[in-house]
Every structure is written in C-alpha cells, then in structure tokens.
Structure 1
Amino acid sequence: MKARLMNGAGNRFILADLRDASIPVQIPAETVRSWARQHAFDQLLVLARSETADAYMRIWNADGDEVGACGNGTRAAAWALMEETGDKTASLDTMGGRLEGVRAGPLSVSVDMGPPRLDWQSIPLARPMDTVTLDYAAEADGIRIESPGAVNMGNPHAVFFIRDVESLPVAKLGREVELDPLFPEKVNVGFAQIYDAEHIRLRVWERGAGLTAACGTGACAALVAAHRRGLAARHASIMADGGELFVEWREHDNHVILTGPVEDEGEITLSL
C-alpha cells in the first residue's frame, strides 16, 4: 500500500489514501504499532470515501488506538487534497465531526477545529469538576504540578501552566496524568509556559503517542485554557518543540482556528 510520510511543525504522520477501496479497510492495532516502529510517526491518517465531504479521515495513534481528532494531521490531509484538486479549501469528515481546511500559503494550512467542548462530561472527566481549574495534581521526581484547565478539541486535553517548562520531567508527568482514573478515555497532557498574552511555549504528551514535536489540538486547547484563565488573548503564537503554530479562538462563532506549516517527506510503502 502506497502512503505519504508528512509532518506539521514536526508532528509526524503517515497519510494513506484509500478512497478507491471497494470496502472499508480494517487496520489492526498491531499493524499500526508495527508501522510506527518502522517509520516513527505519531498518527496514522487514512482517507476513505465520503458522501458529504472531500474525504472521511480515520486517525490512529502510534499505539494502535483510534481517536477522533488530530489538528496537525487534518492540516496535512487537507493540504494533500488541495494539491490534488487545485482548490483553496478541503473538507474532512472525522469521528470528531466535520473539519474544514483552507490554504494559508504554499506550505501552510488553516483548519477550523470547531468550538471547544468545556463541560466536564464532554472532556470527559470521571466526576463533576470546574474545567477552568481542575482540582487535580500530579508529581514526578519531586516536582508537583496542579490545577490544569481541561478542554476537549475532538479529543481530551489537560493543560498545566508552568513557570519553566524546560525544567520539567515532561515524559514522567505526562505518562502519569494520561492514565489517571480522573480521565476515563485517557488524556493528552499540555505543559504551557506563558511568555505574554500572545506567545505561549508548549510541550505536549499525547495519549497513545508520547512526547510529540507538536500537537495541533493541544495548541488549540492551550490557547483556550489560557484565555479562560485570563492568561492569554483570544489569539496567540504557540511555540512547540517542532515549530510555531498560530491559534485563534474566534469570539463571533466560538470556533478555534489552527494555522501552521506542512511538509511532505515523500512516498513510502506499507505492507498490510
């Protein structure tokens, strides 16, 4: 099976186009894990036929779990579709809902991630809690972090606000928080350092993928959580390990817009 290796701000994907398949292709979790070991990607993106959009996109994390949303992956898939059609827009149906991509430059795409989900049932959490500031803490190597904000951007996020993100044992803390019973579907864990109202440093531990160079839904969640806490404006530059993303939480329709770079690393062959 032919596929493309792509990345968005260093967040790596395999994009497989199976719109011509006569029946839906089933991809076992172990197959996804095997491909991840071979190609070191964060998510597998598979395009299938859609009656209502340019394609239906299914998303698997590197551990083989299927998930509902991937912001940078959506940007990469939208770019590939726009390259194919020559259009300036592309639509993708996903488990998390309809997503619309717009060309923002030769190798840049904006995607409308829709409105954030903010009530505790939608994160989801195991019990009622104020999602602006969760009554929750975690500790690793003697370092304690607490009171994250919680946001669902098609998948669940807990965002901790940190004075110096570079000094944290991010992997140990991320693994602990991801698997905490408070988060019944596990959770993506963001570690955000606020430089000023429009500049945020962010590292993300992705459920099922581990520490990632960038996370699109994580960047969206960080901006939303920071604004709700009075720490950021409604738009900001998010500095991830792999590059810069731009996020705007629009006031007029409550939608979150994610913009950033896309890179096509070339074609690969996968064995089903």
Structure 2
Amino acid sequence: MTRVVNPAFSLTALGTPAILTAMRPVVNQTLNLASPVPTGTRTETVRRRRADGEVRGEWVWGPGVGQQRIADTRVIYYLHGSGYVICNPRTHRGLVSRLSRRTGHVAFSLDYRLAPKHRFPAAGDDTARGYEWLLDQGYRPENIVVAGDSAGGHLAMDLLADNQSKSRPQPRAMVLFSPLMDPTFGLAMAREARGLRDPIITAKAGRHFLDMYTGGAPANHPRMTVSLKPSGDLPRTLIQAGGREVMSDDARFLHAALIAAGASSELQLWPDQGHVFQMFPLLTPESRQAVQQAARFVCR
C-alpha cells in the first residue's frame, strides 16, 4: 500500500471560531485543488424553501451519467464531512462525481448549515429535511443510497435514528468513509495515546471542531451518541477507514453497532491511509481503488 501524502494544510491550525471563519475559503480552495472534479461533470444548484426550512445542495452527474425518470432513478444522497465547520458540496464535488460516474447514479450533495454560526442540531435537521425532500420528489427509498464521510457518517446515523422515530422508510444502502461515531473523541484520543499519527487531523482538533457545533450539548444526547433500535429494514452498509487514521476505531464501533441492530455491514480498513483518503486521488492511488470498491458495493 502507498503511504498517503500529507496535504498542504493542517486542520489543527483553525483554532478559534474567528480564525476558522476567516480561513474557511482558503481551506476549501485547497481541498478543491487536492480533489479535482472529473472533466464532463455536470451540476445543478438546489435551493428549495419548505414549510420546515430550506433544502440546499447540488445535483451531481458524473461523466457519462444521464438523466432518467425519477421513478426509475437510483440516487446517492451525499453528506459531506469536516467536523460540521468547513467544506461544502463544492469541496466534495470531485469525490461525489467519481462515485456518480462509477455507479451510474445521479447524486444529491447536501449543503447543510455549518458551525460556528449554526449550532447543533441544525445540520442533523437539514439532513432529515433533505431526505424528506427526495422522497417528496418521488425518489423511492429502495432507490436511495446514503453516502458520507467523517461528520457526514454521524449525520447518516442520526438520519437512520430519526427515520425510526418518525416512521419514515429507510434508504436501501449506506456507504461511509471514515465516519465519526464517538462524539467524545475518546476512541480517537486513545489511538493517539498509543502513538498513532493521522496525516490529516488530530483527535484534539476534531473534538474542538465538534464543540463549535454542539455548543455544550451533552455527549450522551440521543442525537450525539446515536443508537438504533433493532430492526430488519436498516440499510446494507459499507464502511471504509484508513489504517493510519485517528478515527478508525469509530469505524469499528459503528460497524459493530449496525450489526447489533440487525443490519448487514461490511468494514474495510485500508493500511497506511489517513482520514477520508478517498477524496485525494492525486495523493494516493488507494483513493481510486477504494471508490471503485464502494461503487461496486452500491451497484450490487
């Protein structure tokens, strides 16, 4: 396996809300350069006002992916990561387009509200609203695949729990890259204490970002420490994490939690890779291989 290269930025430098807000455009642009959008990608911005709030995001068609009738269309509902404080559909457009191209599915990438301006549970509420909007548009739940990375994995689990509480139908499948599961970051800190060093982010920085979003909400809040009721309708799930990353124990914990709730879950740990390495095809060839395997999972 190839050791992932450290990108030209450090998320640990974004220490305060003021610095974070000022530096967000620079960080996002750096991510855009490190995760290029495939030629031939098409996008369409979405801004839809609903009685319960606004749905924002963008449709993404990877190269060669055409439009189909909604009733027949399988759609990827993508939830981007980065600690609830940075990134947006534009920073993740390259990754989402590659997933779209390899699966042949259109993707809807959610633009949820970010901290520190918008606090918990704004992002989770936006995620549930976006899912309801897809259903209202006529997309059938058995044709929806929820995908996400890092904090997007936490949002995906919150969505499943909210679906259970609201008696909404669950999506067909999930694909999660380096998901956040432990809001205390205790698992990540324990890994660092054993000598692991993630090339992208530290556990302390991750916890600091999450604190900007949670605003002191208790870690045992049911929308923070998410648990699922045992059920036979939970989506089949693929979880990918890097062997070097600080949150790989989150992936293991999430995998076990899904199985305990009755879901089918597959866990892949990629040696020598860091946090959300799937975003960076220019930095590590394993990025392309992982996305290809994720696409195969979705298609089958």
TM-score norm. by structure 2 comes to 0.29
Task: Specify which structure has the higher proportion of helix.
Answer: 2
Structure showing the higher strand proportion among its residues: 1
